Amino acid sequence: MMTGSEYIESLRNYKPLVYFMGKEIESVADSPIFRPHIHAAAMTYELAHDPRYEDLMTAISHLTGEKINRFTHIHQSVEDLVKKVRMMRLLGQKTGTCFQRCVGFDALNAVYITTYDIDKKYSTDYHERFKKYLRFVQKNDLMCVGAMTDVKGDRSFRPHQQSDPDLYVHIVKEKEDGIIVRGAKAHMTGAVNSHEVLVMPTRAMGAEDKAYAVSFAVPIDAEGLVNIFVRQTNDLRRLDGDIDCGNAKYGIVGGETLMVFKDVFVPWERVFMCGEYEFAEQLVEVFATFHRQNYGGCKVGVADVLIGATANIADYNGVAKASHIVDKITEMIHMAETCWCCSLACSYEGYKTPSGAYMPSPLLANVTKLNVTRFPYEWSRLAQDIAGGLVITTPSEKDYRNSKIGDLIEKYLKGIANIPTEHRIRMFRLIENMSVGAQLPESMHGAGSPQAQKIMIWRRGNIEMKRELAKIIAGIKEDEHFRRIVGKTEKEYFKEVKG
C-alpha cells in the first residue's frame, strides 16, 4: 500500500492531457491549482498506515489474501459495508471536503457484481477479465475515477436518437485487439489526480443503444483522453495565500473535469461490457446504490467540521451561550446524525449478491441520498445565520497583511477580547468555504439529483404491500363487491387506469 507522499509521487509517472483556464498543465502533481485536491486524496492513503485507523482503512483482499487499502476492496460482508461508511465519515472529518476516491471504489464493486451476472447469462469472460484488472488495482494501490455521467445532450432523446452521436460515450469500432470509443463524461471527480478511469454506462439502454452499453478501463494518460478542469466558486483563491481559501490544504470539493474520449483505444482485456444493453440499467442502479450509501458518511464528516466551525464562531462572537444559538447548533447536529443513521441503516440492511460481493439496501441508500439533497442546505443556512454577515464580507488576506491598513482590520474585526482577530477571520473563511461555495450543489447532484432517488424509492418502496396492509386494517375483504359494480377486480381496474 502506498503512503500519502508515495501517492503524490506516483502521479509524476503519468502524463495526462489536462487543461485549465485555457492552458495545458505540464505536471498535475506540481500545479498549485490541483494541490488541495491531491492532499485530500492523499489522506485516503496516509490514514491506511495509521494504527488508530487501520481497521477502517484497510481490508484483506478476497482474491489474493493480502492486506489492501479499503478503497480497492470488494465488500465481503455487512461489516465491510458498515466500515466503508465509518471510513467515509472519518475522512470527511479529516479533510472537511471531498476526498474523491469513493467514486472509483463504488465503480469497482458495481462492475464486479454486474460482470458476474453478464457472464452467467451469456457465458462471456468479463468477470475474469475484471478480476485480473482488480488484482492490478489492488497490488498497485491505484486511485480510480468512476466515469458514469455522460453529457447527454437533449435529455428528451435516447442515446441513439441524439443529433450528435458522441453526446454519450460509445463504441466507434471493434477491432481484433480491442475497441475504439468516443464521447465525453461530465463531473469527473478527482480525475486529474487518479491513475485509472473505470467507465460505465449512464442509463438504461435499449437494443438501438447497443453501441452505448459499454464498460471499460483505461489509464488516465491514455492517448486521446482529454481532461478539462472545471471552474468552482473561489477556485483561484488558493493561489492568493492561506486564509482566503478557508480550507487551504484540502480545497473546495472534488476537482471535477469534463473528460473527453477522442477515439481512445481499449484492449479487450480491459473491456467489461460490450453491447449487453439489458445490463446497463443494472450496472447504473448497483453503482448508484453504493454511491448514495456514502453520503450519510462523507457529508456528515464534513458537517462535523462545519458544526465545529459554527460553534467556534459563536464563541468568538461572544454569543455561544445564547439559547437560540444552542438551539440552532443542536438542529445542525440533529440533521447530520439523521443522515448518518440512514447510511448505517442501508449498510446493516445490506445483502450478498450472486457474485459473492455485498451491496447495501437500495431503498435505504436512496433515502440516505435524498436526505443529503436537503439537509446540507439547511445546516449551511444555520451556519451562515450564526456566523453573521462577515462570512461573505471579510476583507482579503492581502489587505490584512498590508502594512498600511492591516492594523485597521485587526482592530475593527475583533470579536471577544482574548481571541486573535486572525482566528476569527480564518473561521469566517472556513464557514464561507463549506456553506456558500461548491459543496452544496455537489450535495444536490452528486450520485444523482433528487428525482433519481425518488424514482428508486418509488420502485423499491413496495407500495402494493402497503396498500394491502391498509385494506386489512380497514376491514376491506376480497373485492367481490367492487367486481360486481365495476366488472373487474380492484387491482385489475387500477392497473388499467394507470396504463
Catalytic residue (one of 37, 98, 144, 394): 98
389 and 417 together in one domain: yes
**Mean pLDDT score across all residues of the chain:** 95
**For 374-413, what is each residue's pLDDT tens digit?**
999 999 999 999 999 999 999 999 999 999 999 999 999 9
Instruction: Tell me whether residue 410 is one of the annotated catalytic residues.
Output: no
Catalytic residue (one of 7, 37, 212, 256): 256
16 DSSP 8-state letter: -
Is the residue at 407 inside a domain? yes
Instruction: Tell me whether residue 331 is one of the annotated catalytic residues.
Output: no
Residue 180 has pLDDT above 90, yes or no: yes
414 and 488 together in one domain: no
140-144, 153-157, 221-225, 446-450: which has the minimum mean pLDDT? 446-450
468 and 374 together in one domain: no
Catalytic residue (one of 144, 274, 298, 339): 298
Catalytic residue (one of 44, 72, 115, 189): 189
374 and 454 together in one domain: yes
339 and 376 together in one domain: yes
Q: Which domain holds residue 484?
A: 462-498
445 and 331 together in one domain: yes
Instruction: Tell me whether residue 256 is one of the annotated catalytic residues.
Output: yes
Is the residue at 396 inside a domain? yes
Instruction: Tell me whether residue 102 is one of the annotated catalytic residues.
Output: yes
The tally of domains found in the chain comes to 2
CATH classification at residue 333: 1.20.140.10
Exposure of 194 by Cβ count < 10 A (0-12 exposed, 13-18 middle, 19+ buried)? buried
Say what percent of the chain tops pLDDT 70.
98
Catalytic residue (one of 212, 295, 316, 400): 295
4, 106, 391, 464 from 480: Cα distances, Å: 69, 50, 66, 19
Query: Which of the two residues, 234 and 339, has the higher pLDDT score?
Result: 339
Is the residue at 374 inside a domain? yes
394 DSSP 8-state letter: P
Is the residue at 384 inside a domain? yes
441 and 302 together in one domain: yes
Using the structure block, give the residue that is written with the C-alpha cell 491513475: 195
313 and 300 together in one domain: yes
* Whole-angstrom distance, CA of residue 335 vs CA of residue 378: 9
103-107, 328-332, 366-370, 495-499: which has the minimum mean pLDDT? 495-499
Degrees, nearest 5: CA angle 474-475-481? 115
Instruction: Tell me whether residue 189 is one of the annotated catalytic residues.
Output: yes
364 and 472 together in one domain: no
* Whole-angstrom distance, CA of residue 435 vs CA of residue 296: 17
Is the residue at 330 inside a domain? yes
Q: What is the pLDDT of residue 164?
A: 98
